[in-house]
Amino acid sequence: ETVMTQSPATLSVSPGGRVTLSCRASQSVGNKLAWYQQNPGQAPRLLIYDASTRATGIPARFSGSGSGTEFTLTITSLQSGDFAVYVCQQYDIWPPTFGQGTKVDIK
């Protein structure tokens, strides 16, 4: 199965700041990559699909890029609700697989 590796495991950022999260696939997944935000005790929330398309209602502060095996999620002007775990998922190769997540916490 396709292994998704996210880095770093944890990132500390100040409110208003900017972060760039990385996700690497063990083999090419084209642009079939989604990003989710997950807060403690809550279900994942879709942010980005097809590597760079924002889901409905997601603000432009969230942007995704990449293709093949290397992907990034950039969040600007971090707000209180953005401090969460971010998970990438590939859906090009069955079975769909998820990264272990990057936790963004308050510096």
Contact positions vs another protein (CB under 8 A): 32, 34, 36, 42-46, 49-50, 55, 87, 89, 91, 94-101
**Residue with Cβ nearer another protein (6 or 63):** 6
Shortest Å distance, C-beta 101 to another protein: 6
- The amino acid present at 106, given as its one-letter code, is I
| 48 vs 75, beta carbon nearer another protein | 48
Residue whose CB is less far from another protein, 4 or 75: 4
Query: From the CB of 16, what's the least distance to another protein, in Å?
Result: 29
- Among 105, 106, 102, residue whose Cα is nearest residue 21: 102
CB 22 to another protein: min, Å:
16
Nearer to another protein, 20 or 100 (CB): 100
Using alpha carbons, select from 94, 24, 19, 101 the residue that is nearest to residue 62. Answer: 19
Q: In a 10 Å sphere around its CB, with 0-12 CB exposed, 13-18 middle and 19+ buried, how is residue 90 labelled?
A: buried
Residues near 91 by beta carbon (within 8 Å), at least 6 away in sequence: 29, 32, 33, 34
